[in-house]
A and B are shown apart, each in its own frame.
Chain A
Amino acid sequence: MGPDIAHLEVNKGNHMKICLVCSYGGHLSEMLQLMEAFEGHETFFITYDSARTRGLERRYLLRNIGTNPLLMAHAFFSIFRILCREKPRLIVSTGSEIAIPAFYLARILRIKTIFIESWARVTERSGTGRLVYPVADVFLVQWERLLPKYGEKAKYEGAVI
């Protein structure tokens, strides 16, 4: 019997699995700034393949979608498979377009979502933000000036720095 181990598992308490979705570059930098918020939870990344993202500990690497509709369709399937396998309780994204398939699939799979619009977006919504706004459970912007461009759901809670 291993009562100690079983006990430890139970005592993780409200520990949950969180999927972090972002492209590389600035969006990843923003996510890395926020990692402290996920402490105590299990996290894994869905991001694009690059030298930098290969260094992440738990990650699924996709090809950069950009504006290619075929790659976007392919990403839907890849992310669907990943989400079914990992069964995260929550998805957090700082953008960009890789969040679109993840957030719509999350809606179908009943996974909660938090979207954080990029720090770089001061007065204009990003294309991704516009598309995921209707399906996100929590939607945050990093500049108060951007709030009027979105609906009531959008909140300002500070910025990455």
Chain B
Amino acid sequence: MHPTGFERLVREMDEVAGKIDEEVIMQIGGTKYIPLNAKHFGFGTEDEVKLLCQEARIVVTHGGVGTILNVLQGGATVVVVPRLGKYGEAIDDHQLVFVQELEKKGRITAVYDVESLEDALRKVDSKPAPLAKDRSLVNALKTYIGKFERK
């Protein structure tokens, strides 16, 4: 949950929503700008957001781990716009590096300049298969935990 708004993305998405035929629903969080062309709400509950992500053809999100995890497992196409430190959208540019890395792995579509958002949305249309979970971290944790058990 990011208390800081993301006006750059909400504003652009609102503009795009006015030009396309598809329904757009936005969780705008702490963003002050109020969308004119799309249904919107501040913060939804986890279940509400999960459901919307499952029903969506495309999910456009900031580079936050929570949403990206949800969406990758739900199977929608993910378009990610990283928050940038220089605009005060995040404490630093870790989202930028994270998003670049996910893009390299081919797991998401990245949009760095919001002006190209509409273009990106028109290009992506495939619905990828839900991602299989990597079990190595869970298994490693089990091993570490086992070492801490009282003998």
Contact = CB atoms under 8 A, between A and B. Distances in A.
Contacts of B149: 14, 16, 89
Contacts of B20: none
B92 A161 contact: no
A120 B137 contact: no
Interface of B is mostly: helix
A101 interface: no
B42 to A, nearest CB: 11
Nearest to A29: B66
Interface in B32-60: 43, 45-46
B101 to A, nearest CB: 5
Interface of A: 14, 16, 18, 24-30, 33-34, 36-38, 41, 50-52, 55, 89-90, 92, 112, 114, 116, 118-124, 126, 137-138, 140, 142-143, 157-161
Nearest to B131: A161
B144 A114 contact: yes
Contact of B97 (A26, A37, A38, A122): A122
A118 B137 contact: no
A34 B141 contact: yes
Interface stretch (B6-14, B69-77, B120-128): B69-77
Contacts of B95: 120
B150 interface: yes
Interface of B: 1-2, 43, 45-46, 63-67, 69-70, 72-73, 92, 94-95, 97-98, 101, 131, 133-142, 144-146, 148-150
Given A34-B141, A160-B69, A161-B73, A25 B64 contact: yes
A131 to B, nearest CB: 15
Contacts of A29: 65-66, 69-70
Given A14-B149, A25-B1, A123-B97, A37 B65 contact: no
Contacts of B2: 25
A76 B149 CA distance: 26
Contacts of B64: 25-26, 120
19 contacts: A16-B150, A24-B1, A25-B65, A25-B66, A26-B67, A36-B138, A38-B145, A89-B149, A120-B63, A120-B94, A120-B95, A122-B94, A124-B92, A137-B148, A140-B140, A157-B141, A158-B140, A160-B65, A161-B69
A114 B142 CA distance: 11
B45 A157 contact: no
Nearest to A35: B138
Given A89-B148, A140-B140, A161-B72, 11 more contacts: A16-B150, A28-B66, A30-B65, A119-B98, A121-B94, A122-B97, A158-B136, A158-B137, A159-B134, A160-B134, A160-B137
Given A120-B63, A124-B92, A124-B97, A52 B136 contact: no
